[in-house]
Amino acid sequence: MSFVVTEPCIACRFGECVGVCPVDAFHAGPNFMVIDPRTCINCGICELACPVEAIRADHALTSEQRAYADLNARLAEAWPVTTATTPLPRAEDFAAEKNKRHLLVLP
């Protein structure tokens, strides 16, 4: 089992999850963060810390969220590890927005 960052994080990237991760499993991209499933120790602390409820256990993903498990694994290989981050400039504006997948900046 691993934890997965899903759509609510897009364009927000608040970062509380990064600060509590004991194993540096987070990788940061331009406007999204992902969890490396090979590094994640399944502690669940990040899920509790996320202010936009973007993090889920892989076994608890909805059918719409399942693609994010593969996306996290793929982007974790491309993006650098992050141990600290700050919210994006308009994070509060995007926090409640739905259907943000089209905003995701990919490598």
Q: What is the pLDDT of residues 66-93, one digit of tens each?
A: 999 999 999 999 999 999 999 999 999 9
Cα gap 7→13, rounded to integer Å? 11
Indicate the DSSP class of residue 30.
S
Residue 95 pLDDT greater than 90, yes or no: yes
Pairing status of strand 33-35 against strand 3-5: unpaired
Cα gap 93→67, rounded to integer Å? 25
> Where does the pLDDT of residue 1 fall: very low under 50, low under 70, confident under 90, or very high at 90 and above?
confident
**Tens-place pLDDT, residues 19-70:** 999 999 999 999 999 999 999 999 999 999 999 999 999 999 999 999 999 9
Q: What structural domains and CATH numbers belong to the chain?
A: 3-83 (3.30.70.20)
Cα gap 49→34, rounded to integer Å? 15
Contact 26, 78 (CB under 8 A): no
